[in-house]
Amino acid sequence: MPSIYDAIQEDHQRHRSLLKEIADTSGDSKARRKAWATFYQDVKSHAAAEEETFYSKLMSKTWGQDAARHSVHEHQQMDDILEELNDKDMSSPGWLQRFETLRHDYEHHIDEEEDEVFTRAREVIGAEENDAFGDRFLKRKAEERSLIAKKREDSLED
């Protein structure tokens, strides 16, 4: 079982690769649609699981409250762009422009998480809990994947 840090970083690496793969495609191609669908599903489930397992634990520290709020706010901003892109014509110039904003923002977010948040988080989630939190994260991510369509439907009703 991977530690919480390894599980999150493995996702980040996959997301970086998918962002590059999407950027290397053009128009409304089969390759772009496939890479986008994979990225969309994985990032949505990753962010929700991260908030519920990782960031909720960091909230027990005063500094963790600010770090968690900041990251959750960034998740919301990226979620808005994900939904916007999901509903936009992939062959339009606006799609690629908005995608580049998402890519820049997301890469900044994951770099910040890995470089700054992880260092402080080890004070709260130490070596003795790494694997248990990694397991919880992966299980929650799998559950969240099955809720993506329902959450999107609920969001559209609001």
Distance of CA 72 to the CA centre of its chain: 10
**Average pLDDT value for residue range 23-43:** 96
Q: Under 8 Å CB-to-CB from 42, ≥6 apart: which residues? A: 11, 14, 15, 18
Number of domains in the chain: 1
- Residue 9 burial by Cβ neighbours in a 10 Å radius (0-12, 13-18, 19+): middle
- Indicate whether 151 pLDDT > 90: no
Range of the domain at 28: 4-157
Per-residue model confidence as pLDDT tens digits over 66-118: 888 999 999 999 999 999 999 999 999 899 999 999 999 999 999 999 999 99
- CA of residue 56 relative to chain centroid, distance: 15
pLDDT at 155: 65
With cut-offs at 50, 70 and 90, classify the pLDDT of residue 157: low
Q: Give the tens place of pLDDT for each residue, 139-149.
A: 999 999 998 87
Distance CA 94, CA 22 (A): 15
Instruction: Give residue 45's pLDDT band: very low, low, confident or very high (50, 70, 90).
Output: very high
Average pLDDT over residues 32-60: 95
pLDDT of residue 63: 80
Single-letter amino acid, residue 102: L
- The arithmetic mean of pLDDT across residues 132-138, rounded, is 95
